[in-house]
Amino acid sequence: MSGGPARALPVPTRAISRASPLEPRTEKRHLPSSRVPSRPEPQGPFSFDRPFHAAMAQATMGLSPAALVQAYGDWALHLFLSPDKQIALNERARRQCIRYLEYCLRALLNQTDFCIDPLPQDKRFINEDWRQWPFNVFQQGFLLSQQWWHKATTDIYGFSKHHEDVVSFIVRQLLDTVSPTNFPASNPEIIRATAQQGGFNFLRGAVNFWEDARRAAMGSSPVGSEAFEVGKNLATARGKVIYRNRLIELIQYEPVSAAVYPEPILIVPAWIMKYYILDLSPENSLVQYLVAHGHTVFMISWKNPRAQDRDLGLDDYRKLGLTAALDAISEIISNQSVHCVGYCLGGTLLALGAAAMARMGAQRIRSITLFAAQTDFTEAGELMLFIDEAQVAFLEDMMAEKGYLDTKQLASAFQFLRSNDLIWSAVVQTYMLGERPPMFDLMAWNADPTRLPYRMHSEYLRRLFLDNDLAEGRYVIEDHPISLRDIRAPIFCVSTVSDHIAPWRSVYKIQMLTDANVTFVLSNGGHNAGIVSRPGHPGRHYQIATHNWDEIYVDPDAWRQIATLRQGSWWPAWVSWLARLSGRRIAPPPMGAPEKGLVPLCDAPGGYVLEK
């Protein structure tokens, strides 16, 4: 295993119609698609279930009470039927009480050694003031309680692993609400700020709270986001919208060099986000970085769906998104395969689309790059906590009322998964210390979310999360099951250490699922910050290694031991990898193809990205 170039593999050739490169072969073997059950029609003149569940979802942030009751009932019953576990918990509680009382006595004598340390990822108690009495007593009592409850909700024989994860997570969230960091009387940083500022920190915090509440009620953007405007200081790469359909605008970016690589790049972002995360401020723009290195870049900009788009499904996103974009590119740059890039959900779409094209013999993809994209969903992180039949059915009823999943539900879900970082720390900083953190480009982008159409989101949750059809060979496209093993194009796969949406070990499974050369990168950072990792950004580092198709599989932990560690951004390594797979530079292609109906429609960033 090395960090060198991946070897290109031949793909089987078949006669493919140029006008319809994805046309299926004549023989058909019909397989049952994944189960996407619909609610049975009401027998009487009234239907109460769906509006009742939708109204309930507003109060529960989209969490199904039935799913939570099932999880807690499973926990309580198995704990009740496990006397050995009860005895062990009682003994642990006795020992921890003794340890805590002993620590309290030592704390009175100014001995600062803790009896329990916070977890490495827990940054709430890093301030030195938490080592001083009585704050050290507060935080040690909280951490001991947190540890006991973790033991109480895990390792119970017969307890469902899924329900265990749900219960331990919810208990952790409930405990976090009573953390001593969240209260002015028990947080030394708040006490110090109040004494130094004469209470003006609370006055500023009250003003901040009122402004945030007002903006939330009006549906306005957060404070500071008005300093960032799409087309002015965000999404500023020069280009044209050269194609539009009901779901996408396709942007072609203008070259900045006299010669470019012959193979264009198509970027497929996730439609759960606006595309310009990859074209933020000029110094933070992956698009401008690629163009500056001699690449012709095309970008899909997804339409923000509304109620009338409720019936758009995953296959519509494949055909109207990936396939339509490739068709348009082939009209502008003929006889050239394409470097395809997929981010998050866009990467999953790219993988299933590439598998469909490979099965049907279409040779349109030169390479595949995946950014934080999962293809196997058995270990899909904390999002899996709330993906079961009861929860999905509840979400479907909630979405059916509007025709889409609202941005507020999406934002609440992601904040809930990281409540310490995104909720409680923000409450303390903004409302108690009275210090509003400065807005920057990535935060402004994060405050500009999109909706998800009802049918697509239901299919995504059921076919990928619940049933894992793509990884297990049951995903059907054009009446045929597809397999990721049919993909032969070399793959560059980027994951991030702190990703809570697409955990890196889950992303890593692409190496087991394909028969392609896979160059795998593990970058520090999270789902977004680890990808938007410009050269020169302080503190960046990554590991990289290539696994060739004919080599023995290496598990993730072993891979971390042998993969090369490099300092800085992974962007230069990726650009070098693309260059090795590209031909000699030629003159730039034209902007659009007016003679073929692809007339530039407007300047980038286009119109779809501006829709609210």
- Alpha carbons 210 and 299: distance in angstroms, whole number: 39
Closest-CA residue to 71 (of 388, 339, 500, 505): 388
Closest-CA residue to 306 (of 407, 375, 390): 407
**Residues ≥6 apart with Cβ < 8 Å to 18:** none
- Alpha carbons 563 and 560: distance in angstroms, whole number: 5
Q: Which residues on neighbouring strands pair with residue 564, listed in sequence order?
A: 544
Residue 367 backbone dihedrals phi, psi, to 5 degrees = -150, 165
Three-state secondary-structure class, residue 538 = coil
Q: Dig out the tokens for 180 from the structure.
A: 């001593």
- Alpha carbons 223 and 267: distance in angstroms, whole number: 31
- Asked whether the beta carbons of 374 and 380 are under 8 A apart, the reply is yes
Closest-CA residue to 111 (of 124, 119, 120, 102): 102
- Alpha carbons 261 and 290: distance in angstroms, whole number: 11
Which H/E stretch holds residue 87? helix 83-108
Q: Do β-strands 480-481 and 476-477 pair in parallel, antiparallel, or remain unpaired?
A: antiparallel
CB burial readout 452-469, b (16+ within 10 A) else e:
bbbbbbbbbbbbbbbbbb
**Residues ≥6 apart with Cβ < 8 Å to 547:** 1, 511, 517, 518, 519, 520, 553, 554
- Alpha carbons 384 and 465: distance in angstroms, whole number: 8
344 is catalytic: yes
Residue type, 544: I
CB burial readout 109-131, b (16+ within 10 A) else e:
eeeeebbbebeeeeebbeeeebb
- Alpha carbons 329 and 298: distance in angstroms, whole number: 8
Three-state secondary-structure class, residue 319 = helix
Which residue among 104, 115, 340, 344 is the active-site one? 344
- Alpha carbons 268 and 125: distance in angstroms, whole number: 40
CB atoms within 10 A of CB 200: 12
Residues taking part in catalysis: 344
